[in-house]
Amino acid sequence: MITEERLKILTESAKYDVSCSSSGSARKNEGGMGNGYVAGCCHSFTPDGRCISLLKILLSNDCIYNCKYCPNRLDADVPRATATPEEICELTIDFYKRNYIEGLFLSSAVCKNPDYTMERLLLTVKKLRLEYNFHGYIHLKGIPKADPLLMKEAGRYADRMSYNIELPSEKSLKLLAPQKSKESLLLPMKTLAMQTAQFREEKKKGLIKGHFLPAGQTTQMIIGASPEADGQILRLTQALYQKNGLRRVYYSSYVPIVHDSLLPDTAVGQLREHRLYQADWLLRFYGFSVEELLSENENLATEFDPKCAWALKNMQLFPVEINRAPLEMLLRVPGIGSKNAYKIMEARKYTKLSFEDLVKMRIALKRARHFITCNGKFFGEKNEYSVRGLLAAAETGENAKQLDLFSILSSPQNAMIALSGQL
């Protein structure tokens, strides 16, 4: 059993990684313990409002790199610890058996060199799969600059892998993480995408069995440690989704745990992170492209959510008739989410929906009423300036609540979201 002290060090070093989802894998139990849960599953929630789904831990926090923003950087005066692969496996099995966790999220500081570190991670994951017969979820962090053959092998055992892009531009990387480059972070993502495609091809032909990253790849970037605008960040995001087939991009608002003259001393408000997630959702589930939302040097509006901001710029498209609008358009109405759009689509097959019907269906109309008609009747404010005022007022009143909602977005395995299929 790993000691409490080392568990504490290795957990505290891992906790700033925001990704924790356990969704996307339908791995079967093939004798032994565990299986995948496609919708993902949260097992507990910590007082910071985040969920615990996976045992998130580092194999070691003993790093040779000196990235300015990182609490585990070479220069930092922090306690160091390293776990053995056996200790990690034991911990995973005994936690899993008690239903504390959905699986393992394993990462590591770069010890000695990238290949050595990746070998240790791979060894741990293989041990867990082959010796401990564990079929639960494994999210493995990739180590940049490690041998592609090691990545390829890891892909056979992990459900999901992620390489963190860390900072949204080459310039910021040079400044804050001089040992990393955009290329060294993007290349492994591309390689993994190619390896995945190749595996699927071979599997289709019956040449190979098993899995290769059934839950795909994700990445994360730190927001606010460097000066990039939201427009630039979201363009990078869109490219990652479209070109590299990533499942999720996580945003982590910068928390000044480390003090350095190159870094800001204040934390980024969580509102910015929240707005980025809202925009990210629009890109993935609402049919928006980043070009429609904002220009490259622009930031997302703080006073409205990104869909409201878009609608206010495109008032000529509204109001839309709730009984006739196609799904694509319903999804673009401020205040109507994907679940409610679906409810409207279904309910209107039975009856012509009136405004009262929407109220009965508990569809939030505070924003939506300015953008819809029900059987030709309009219930909103006609004057565009008044609409702006009302929307902003709705937002301010809800701001606290809005911020609470933020973790729905950063912990996607949340049941509601899982049920709405937004994974």
Partner 1 sequence: MVYIFDGTKLGFLTAFLLAYEDGNALLTSHAVQLPLGESFISVTTDSDKAKRVERRLLTFDTDALHALDRLLRSGMENHEQIAFRYFKKLATEKRPIDKNFADPDVFAAVECMKKVGHEIHKMHGFVRFMELENGALYAPISPDNDICDLLLPHFRARLPEYPFVIHDVTRKKAAVYDGKNAFVAPLGTADVLISADEEGWQKLWKNYYKAVNIPSRERLKQMRGYMPVRYWKFLPEKQETPNSFE
Cβ proximity to partner 1: between 221 and 294 the closer is 221
29 binds partner 1 (CB under 8 A): yes
64 binds partner 1 (CB under 8 A): no
The binder of partner 1 chosen from 288, 407, 409, 423 (CB under 8 A): 407
Q: In whole angstroms, how close is the CB of 252 to partner 1 at the nearest point?
A: 11
258 binds partner 1 (CB under 8 A): no
265 binds partner 1 (CB under 8 A): no
187 binds partner 1 (CB under 8 A): no
Q: In whole angstroms, how close is the CB of 350 to partner 1 at the nearest point?
A: 4
Site string for partner 1, 69-108 (x = CB under 8 A): ----------------------x--xx-xxxx-x------
The binder of partner 1 chosen from 35, 66, 169, 244 (CB under 8 A): 35
Cβ proximity to partner 1: between 23 and 196 the closer is 23
Stretch that binds partner 1, among 64-72, 217-225, 234-242, 358-366 (CB under 8 A): 358-366
Cβ proximity to partner 1: between 191 and 270 the closer is 270
The binder of partner 1 chosen from 23, 37, 130, 162 (CB under 8 A): 37
The binder of partner 1 chosen from 23, 51, 233, 365 (CB under 8 A): 51
The binder of partner 1 chosen from 26, 49, 113, 131 (CB under 8 A): 49
34 binds partner 1 (CB under 8 A): yes
Q: In whole angstroms, how close is the CB of 238 to partner 1 at the nearest point?
A: 28
Cβ proximity to partner 1: between 105 and 157 the closer is 105
Indicate if the alpha-carbon torsion angle 38, 44, 50, 52 is positive or negative: negative
Chain Cα centroid distance, residue 380 = 35
4 binds partner 1 (CB under 8 A): yes
Cβ proximity to partner 1: between 299 and 402 the closer is 402
The binder of partner 1 chosen from 26, 45, 78, 112 (CB under 8 A): 45
361 binds partner 1 (CB under 8 A): yes
SS3 annotation, the chain: CCCHHHHHHHHHCCCCCCCCCCCCCCCCCCCCECCCCCCCCCCEECCCCCEECEEEEECECCCCCCCCCCCCCCCCCCCCCECCHHHHHHHHHHHHHCCCCCEEEEECCCCCCHHHHHHHHHHHHHHHHHHCCECCEEEEECCCCCCHHHHHHHHHHCCEEECCCECCCHHHHHHHCCCCCHHHHHHHHHHHHHHHHHHHHHHHCCCCCCCCCCCCEEEEEEECCCCCCHHHHHHHHHHHHHHHCCCEEEEEECCCCCCCCCCCCCCCCHHHHHHHHHHHHHHHHCCCCHHHHCCCCCCCCCCCCHHHHHHHHCHHHCCEECCCCCHHHHCCCCCCCHHHHHHHHHHCCCCCCCHHHHHHCCCCCCCHHHCEEECCEECCCCCHHHHHHHHHHHHHHHHHHHHHHHHHHHCCCCHHHHHCCCC
215 binds partner 1 (CB under 8 A): no
Encode burial over 363-389: b for 16+ CB neighbours within 10 A, e otherwise. bebebbbbbbbbeeebebeeeeeebbe
131 binds partner 1 (CB under 8 A): no
The binder of partner 1 chosen from 19, 23, 55, 394 (CB under 8 A): 55
Contact of 372 with 321, CB cutoff 8 Å:
yes
Positions in the binding site for partner 1 (CB under 8 A): 1-2, 4, 7-8, 11-12, 14-16, 29, 31-35, 37, 39, 41-52, 55-56, 91, 94-95, 97-100, 102, 135-136, 255, 267, 270, 343, 346-347, 349-351, 353, 357-358, 360-362, 404, 407, 414-416, 418-419
